[in-house]
């Protein structure tokens, strides 16, 4: 596990920021397998404690646990993700929001569907004046040519190689 760094500036400790695929299960301690709705409900009070003037980018990679939830409604999911984006844009108005595309082994069809939903979230950013850009596409970076065997421990959570692959891909997205 390493740090993303550029021009001598440490971005963050990658293991803490992307631990276990940056899934909601890892973001809501003690609540495994939860979805974007639970993150939305707990995000406001728990995860944003930084000084807004220091935040240039907010990296988001959520949705992998939602793929196994079943019964997802696009409008609800997009709305909930949009509420998170709206809050982050209000809290960090100068920050670029980088929204990655999740992938999960055995869920290629749902991953592709969610890719479209995330494209909608990104497109909706313009309506609130937020700058949102596409992040890492895990269906490319993590799935790789071996269906995630190298980059994941269990088809969902990153292996050591997966952390390195994701970090390298994110550095590219960020232009470093």
pLDDT over 70 (residue 45): no
pLDDT over 80 (residue 115): yes
Band of residue 121 on the pLDDT scale cut at 50, 70, 90: very high
Q: By CB neighbour count within 10 A (0-12 exposed, 13-18 middle, 19+ buried), where does 80 fall?
A: buried
User: 36, 170 in Cβ contact below 8 A?
Assistant: no
Beta bridge partners of 97: 58, 132
Band of residue 55 on the pLDDT scale cut at 50, 70, 90: confident
Residue 145 CA to its chain's centroid (Å): 22
pTM beyond 0.85: the answer is: no
Q: Which of helix, strand or coil describes residue 162? A: helix
Quick one: average pLDDT of 87-109?
A: 93
């Amino acid at each position: 596990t390493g740090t993303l760094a550029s021009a001598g500036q440490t971005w963050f400790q990658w293991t803490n920021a992307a631990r276990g695929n940056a899934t909601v299960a890892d973001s809501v301690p003690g609540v495994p397998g939860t979805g974007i709705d639970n993150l939305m409900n707990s995000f406001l009070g728990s995860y944003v404690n930084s000084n807004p003037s220091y935040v240039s980018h907010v990296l988001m990679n959520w949705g992998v646990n939602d793929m196994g939830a079943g019964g997802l409604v696009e409008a609800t999911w997009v709305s909930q993700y949009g509420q998170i984006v709206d809050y982050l844009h209000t809290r960090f108005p100068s920050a670029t929001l980088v929204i990655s595309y999740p992938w999960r082994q055995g869920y290629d069809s749902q991953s592709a569907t969610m890719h479209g939903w995330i494209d909608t979230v990104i497109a909706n950013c313009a309506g609130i004046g937020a700058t949102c850009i596409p992040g890492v596409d895990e269906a490319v970076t993590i799935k790789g040519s071996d269906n995630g065997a190298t980059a994941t421990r269990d088809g969902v959570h990153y292996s050591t190689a997966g952390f390195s692959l994701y970090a390298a891909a994110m550095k590219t997205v960020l232009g470093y």
